[in-house]
Amino acid sequence: MIRAVIFDWGGTLTPWRTMDFRMGWRAYAELRHAGDATRAAELADALAAADTARWTGIRDGAKAFTIADVLADAAADHRDDEHAQALAAYRDHWVQATHTDPEAPPMLRALKADSLRLGILSSTMWPGDWHDDWLRRDGVLDLFDGRTWSSDLPFTKPHPSAFRAAMASVGVDDPAACVFVGDRPYDDISGAKALGMRAVLVPHSEIPPDQQVPVDVSPDAVIQRLAELPDVVRGW
């Protein structure tokens, strides 16, 4: 019997939106070094390179990381007075990609009405507070029994410990009683199924080539819209 449904966040609960991540770091760097275009460009390039390296590294060991790690890798001092203002500019750049799919609230309420526990497991370097703010803004924060952000973990998807942390957050210890819903065949589908969960693929994300890993795994279901999910889960 299915007892819980756990969701990926970006590209699943939020529709995929192709973004130039370098522009976010440029916004950060231009405030850190206002009036010095050369230093700002150098810092933006270093941060973008560190960001890419950290995400690429997930393929090799699923090591989780944070914004502070990226800043440290780029040798960017984030203890000065300009850091907070610059980080706010970086966050503002990404807000456009954070909006919850309009089909998510009614879908989540339908699952709750079926007495299912709901959770999130997201591979993210951003603080959990940011995600909670966006979920609260969209009126869905209180629909989740647990929220697990990899920025709070030593490992991220597809590492089994990340999935177990998400299960613990919703109070379920049997993987066979859980469904995971995500947009990435490697991180989400292969990780969930390796642990014994059912896995549902939402196949609309344009995953960067350097983050793709070929996997020989098939999801238990594929949905084109979040609204389809309650009927899929009821069939199990």
pLDDT tens per residue, range 66-115: 999 999 999 887 767 789 999 999 999 999 999 999 999 999 999 999 99
Q: Tell me the two tokens of residue 163.
A: 């999935």
| CB count in 10 Å sphere of residue 232 | 17
Q: Tell me the two tokens of residue 78.
A: 């984030």
Query: Among the three residues 63, 96, 129, which one is the final residue of a domain in this structure?
Result: 96
143 by DSSP, 3-state: which? helix
Residues 81 and 189 in one domain: no
Report whether pLDDT(209) > 70: no
121 by DSSP, 3-state: which? strand
Domain that holds residue 225: 4-17+97-234
Residues 144 and 52 in one domain: no
Residues 130 and 218 in one domain: yes
Q: Tell me the two tokens of residue 124.
A: 């993210």
d(CA 22, CA 30): 12
d(CA 222, CA 200): 6
Residues 123 and 200 in one domain: yes
Number of structural domains the chain divides into: 2
Residues 164 and 78 in one domain: no
**pLDDT given at position 210:** 64
Residues 137 and 169 in one domain: yes
Q: Tell me the two tokens of residue 10.
A: 């970006």
pLDDT tens per residue, range 1-46: 999 999 999 999 999 888 899 999 999 999 999 889 999 999 999 9
